[in-house]
Amino acid sequence: MLQNLKDWGKVLILLLDEAVIIVAILLLLRFLEINIPLPIMIVGGIILGIFVLIVHIAVIPSFHRKRVTGREGMVGEQGIVVDKLTPSGTVIVRGEYWKAKSINGDNIEINETVEIVGNVGLTLEVKRGSH
């Protein structure tokens, strides 16, 4: 329930800029003395508003997707130890070499699989992998 309220709050905030643009366009038309009948402006605004709302509602699922880039995207990934972790060393993840540190202080041997659980700066925090 709370997540739904947060999602709708995000959608409403995203809609604010479109509403401001619509109002600015209508004011510009009035300033340029382009006369559009009020009923046509109201109906056009409502139709445009509904369209924009539908587009923003379609975006809601993207609020809950796992991040796939940056720091957050690394968490949960698997890596291979290439320089023994005692408890610090080097792992390879997605073809890239990273400094890593075992969160349990374990010594992890070369070619063992590790799972990334976090990072501090450019050092990955890892634990022994499941396979």
Across 62-66, average pLDDT: 73
Architecture field, domain 70-128? Beta Barrel (2.40)
Lowest mean pLDDT among 33-47, 65-79, 97-111: 65-79
Please state the domain extents for the chain: 2-64, 70-128
In the predicted model, is pLDDT for residue 3 greater than 80? no
Q: Identify whether the C-beta of residue 81 lies closer than 8 Å to the C-beta of residue 49.
A: no
Output 15 or 80, whichever has higher pLDDT.
80
Confidence band (pLDDT; 50, 70, 90) for 71?
low
**Tokens at 34, concatenated:** 């382009």
Spatial separation of the C-alpha atoms in residues 113 and 40, rounded to whole Å:
65
Report, in angstroms and rounded to the nearest whole number, the Rg of the chain calculated over CA atoms.
Answer: 26
